[in-house]
Structure 1
Amino acid sequence: MNKEFLIQVHNRVKPYIHKTAVLSSQLINEIAGCNVFFKCENFQKMGAFKMRGAANAILNLSEEDRNKGVVTHSSGNFAQALSLAANKIGIEAYIVMPENAPQVKKNAVKGYKGHIIESESTPIAREQMAEKVKQETGATFIHPSNDDDVIHGQGTATIELLEERPQLDYIFTPVGGGGLIAGTALAAKYFSDKCKVIGGEPKNADDAYRSMKSGKIEFNKTTNTIADGLRTFLGDRNFPIIMNDVERIILVEEEEIIEAMKLIWERMKIIIEPSSAVAFAALLKEKEQFKNKDVGIIISGGNVDVSNLPF
């Protein structure tokens, strides 16, 4: 792994992604007490950063494997990302979705020509169904976050952010399955000589925080958080990167997530999903430590059910 390798990844996915905007707000800077630069992956194709990792994973397959299609299990953004990336590249995507996944997300997957296979909503049921589809179709399984190609693809958002704002002292990302923060940490390591990466995580789903403390992957017994994209757990591919290259993880309460989300909607006039607000909430929670610093925040996505807002 080196800088040249990540540049190749970036060049590979460029034709399939948007180079998203970096936005700032004087008022937000005053509230946060530092200079905040939002990398707006809510403007990405299909509305989230996951398009980057999905495209890279598919493009790295051999032509023979590509022709058999790809399969994943996801209730949300990665389901949409893999479907759209596969559609753009011209292959089939089989998406195992829990039967209780929101209809709006199922409709989006169908719109991107993904084939939906429903399963029970438990992680084990989803994995077993994905394995069954893999056996039946010969499709390659691509994990939403615990996959090297996915991790490297997600890091391209940070490459773009640091190209535009090389002076950054910190980059904050939300932490769910660990693919985004691991990719961010790798990109920051090779494209900056000083930028540190910090994760924001809901206190109600604090497995990554506990994992960093214990040095082994921990799990949540419950995941009762509004940040629905962060209810997944870390994997053996991304966890070592997180342990090695992430500075720390800050936990935030549900009210803090909602307040941060509301602030961005009101002040930035942009739509972000609750999971995206977690990183900004983490910065606000400990803003004294980042006074007058230059801070990047990856706005991970904007796929929110506008008929069911928390404010």
Structure 2
Amino acid sequence: MTEAITNSSTIRLHDAFFRWLFAVVTRLRYLLELAGKANKELADFLSVVNLDTLTRIPDSYSNVDETGEADLAYRVNVSTGAPVLVGILLEHKSGRDPDVLNQIARYVNSVMKIHGENRGFDGLPTMAIIFYNGRENWNPLKTFEDGFPEFFRGKVLPFQCAFINMVDIPDSDCLACEDIETGMGIVAMKYAYNEKKLLEVLPQFKDLLKKIPPERASCLLQKISVYLGEYVNQDVLKELDMAFVSVGQKYGFVSAGDVFRQKLAEAEKNGEEKAAKARSDGKSEGHADAIDVFASLGVSPEKIAEAKARLDALNNK
């Protein structure tokens, strides 16, 4: 599987999928609300902020939107009515990373700042949320404070932090989620290492896909297929494709090959119509116009040459 490279770091496709999915504020809200049901620290945080004010921080720390070193950063107002901002930093992990807290600290230090003339401190209080969907049980927060005196418990990190194992988000909540992309995306991630559960739960979204426009549903299925390609074998992908093939037929999803063939057929039809008009009008520009139709639709030079030969044959009749 080809991996994207940025900033001399190797970023796996699962990171791109997480960023693509939850860079959209609406989906992020549903993710936070679902995760908050499974994590008290996150639930407490959500109770003191106004999610209607969520604003994504531009990727100033990342060269590539979907494959930057960090995942996602936001600012949000507190819910007291005062114009006070706090930060939200999302970090996705699919395996153990002993450096994750240092990594987050660097992001908080570089990203969570607001410079103002009357501000005595540029930093923003930040809630960092680690979303994990790995094979092994892992929680970097559980053993982090061992050995510290009670006085320092909860005060060691320069930010608040919650750890969410995505498998703890119930399937029922995902299936009931009003945002289909969020529900399906969570299921795809939480069962990426569990083929049996993946094949059991993911197809249950088939009938729910009709609630979103066909182009969005098609994009979602394609993104999930690419993402799961890192984890499951081709037989599983084929079985998932078969589970959704009827959805594609019913709601008009078409593959990239279907789109190309459709464009080619349209180009040929338009070209022949223009050629016929040129013959009937006694004009030569019909030939050139027909070739322009092919070029404008992105048809390859080889196909244009075939069309030209056909048009020459028609004009010579």
Compute the TM-score of the two structures, normalised by the length of structure 2.
0.26
Compute the TM-score of the two structures, normalised by the length of structure 1.
0.27
Asked which structure has the greater CA Rg, the reply is 2
